[in-house]
């Protein structure tokens, strides 16, 4: 082990020890088909009479929030609406939402949508509680000094797990860079898991968000910062995803399978919140920052390439996931099982029309991608095997068209 990688492992050991003193309690959950209509009365019971709803224009256009708004009126909860959440929320996006929160006299926030709406809402909530800190000043670990505004999270995709994570991923348009604010205070206080909200998702969104959840579970599971709880949650997520994702891709109206995918996303979110992610996310964040690639799609494409790179350092945990996913044959050793699991990911991607390479990556951007990805990953991410600059470049080149 080199001096540099020794430092990485030491840093990770310190973070693993410190995490036992942090609050990783999961949000209180309201679940079941139609549960979003129960949310306003629940909000009122918690003492809030006016909230800021953060969502995006696409969800407003398909009227997905109509049931929530109707129930708000019935429960006597007023709301201000910010429907400007962007696909990759920016600093200005958060400041705009914050301005509406303040001018509307809001007392709490409802995040309604996918990971981007959640990230925007978390950033806004953090700014409410920390008015003297800019978004860039909260970049990194444990920089959210004071408690954010109370946050109710309503996911409309089954993938990001943002309703149970401590991260908000922000884009700086001036540098085309994505970065994360990581702090347990950002975990939503309450989460609504309503399968009816995901029924209208197009197949390509269903598939890529589902593969996002799989990436969370796998990266958490093979890393070196697992706990008994994250191991259990990762395994449950992988079993649910392999058992339900292709079903909802083909039949989006299957409420039972939709509900199972929401649970899978939730479990995977719990797992990676405590056990972290790895190089798949580090590369995906920066591809998203440079080229605007949707995060779930980027993760889906990158995942098998990074697992290939890990090789024997990840064979044992991947072999266990292969058994859970039901993709092994009798008599296979750990290496064969691990490779069967990686092949199963590629096959599932192919069956759901997810490409295996990127057309967007430009030769001249590779050094910047490598630099930013490794800066994100090191020393925090407890990966099974470390990448050098040459390793990272080679992985990126293998996924180029």
| pLDDT confidence of residue 398 | 97
CATH topology (fold) of 203-398? Dehydroquinate synthase-like, alpha domain (1.20.1090)
Q: Tell which residue, 217, 275, 281, has the closest CA to residue 245.
A: 217
pLDDT in tens, the chain (401 residues): 588 899 999 999 998 988 888 878 889 999 998 999 999 999 999 999 999 999 999 999 999 999 999 999 999 999 999 999 998 899 999 999 999 999 999 999 999 999 889 999 999 999 999 999 999 999 988 999 999 999 999 999 999 899 999 989 898 888 878 888 999 999 999 999 999 999 989 999 999 999 999 999 999 999 999 999 999 999 999 999 999 999 999 999 999 999 999 999 999 999 999 999 999 999 999 999 899 899 999 999 999 999 999 999 999 999 999 999 999 999 999 999 999 999 999 999 999 999 999 999 999 999 999 999 999 999 999 999 999 999 999 999 999 98
Omega before 19 cis (within 30°)? Answer: no
Q: Give the three-state DSSP class for 44.
A: helix
Provide the CATH number for the domain formed by 23-198 in this structure: 3.40.50.1970
pLDDT of residue 63: 94
Q: What pLDDT is attached to residue 304?
A: 98
Cα–Cα distance between 150 and 343 in angstroms, integer?
42
In whole angstroms, give the CA distance from residue 164 to residue 68: 21
Sheet (strand 177-182) strand order: 140-141, 177-182, 167-172
Report which of 279, 275, 182, 264 is spatially closest to residue 223, judged by C-alpha positions. 275
User: How would you list the strands of the sheet with 50-54, edge to edge?
Assistant: 28-31, 190-193, 151-155, 108-113, 50-54, 78-82
pLDDT at 1: 59
Where are the domains positioned within the chain?
23-198, 203-398
Map tokens 């950033």 to a residue: 123
How far, in Å, CA of 325 to CA of 323, rounded?
5
pLDDT of residue 254: 96
Element holding 220 (H helix, E strand): helix 203-222
Which residues are CB-contacts of 105 (< 8 A; sequence separation ≥ 6)? 50
């Amino acid at each position: 082990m080199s001096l540099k990688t020794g430092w990485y492992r030491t840093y990770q050991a310190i973070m693993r020890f410190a995490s036992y003193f942090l609050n990783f309690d999961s949000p209180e959950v309201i679940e079941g088909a139609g549960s979003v209509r129960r949310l306003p009365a629940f909000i009122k019971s918690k003492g809030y009479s006016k909230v800021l709803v953060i969502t995006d224009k696409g969800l407003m256009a398909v009227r997905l929030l109509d049931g929530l708004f109707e129930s708000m009126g019935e429960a006597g909860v007023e709301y201000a609406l910010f429907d400007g959440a962007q696909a990759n929320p920016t600093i200005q996006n958060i400041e705009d939402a914050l301005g509406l929160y303040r001018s509307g006299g809001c007392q709490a926030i409802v995040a309604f949508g996918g990971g981007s709406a959640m990230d925007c809402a978390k950033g806004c909530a953090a700014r409410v509680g920390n008015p003297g800190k800019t978004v860039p000043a909260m970049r990194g670990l444990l920089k959210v000094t004071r408690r954010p505004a109370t946050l109710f999270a309503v996911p409309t995709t089954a993938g990001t797990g943002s309703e149970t994570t401590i991260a908000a991923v922000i884009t700086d348009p001036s540098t085309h860079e994505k970065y994360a604010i990581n702090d347990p205070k950002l975990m939503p206080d309450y989460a609504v898991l309503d399968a009816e909200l995901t029924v209208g998702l197009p197949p390509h969104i269903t598939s890529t968000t589902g593969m996002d959840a799989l990436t969370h579970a796998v990266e958490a599971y093979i890393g070196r910062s697992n706990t008994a709880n994250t191991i259990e949650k990762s395994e449950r997520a992988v079993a649910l995803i392999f058992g339900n994702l292709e079903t909802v891709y083909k039949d989006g109206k299957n409420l039972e399978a939709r509900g199972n995918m929401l649970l899978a996303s939730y479990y995977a979110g719990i797992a990676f919140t405590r056990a972290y992610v790895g190089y798949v996310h580090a590369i995906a964040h920066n591809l998203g920052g440079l080229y605007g690639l949707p995060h779930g799609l980027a993760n889906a494409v990158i995942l098998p390439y990074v697992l290939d790179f890990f090789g024997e350092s990840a064979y044992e945990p991947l072999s266990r996931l292969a058994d859970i996913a039901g993709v092994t044959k009798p008599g296979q050793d750990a290496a064969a099982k691990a490779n069967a699991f990686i092949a199963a990911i590629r096959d599932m991607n192919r069956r759901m029309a997810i490409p295996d390479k990127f057309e967007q990556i430009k030769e001249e951007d590779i050094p910047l991608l490598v630099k930013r990805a490794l800066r994100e990953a090191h020393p925090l991410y407890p990966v099974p095997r470390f990448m050098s600059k040459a390793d990272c470049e080679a992985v990126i080149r293998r996924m180029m068209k």
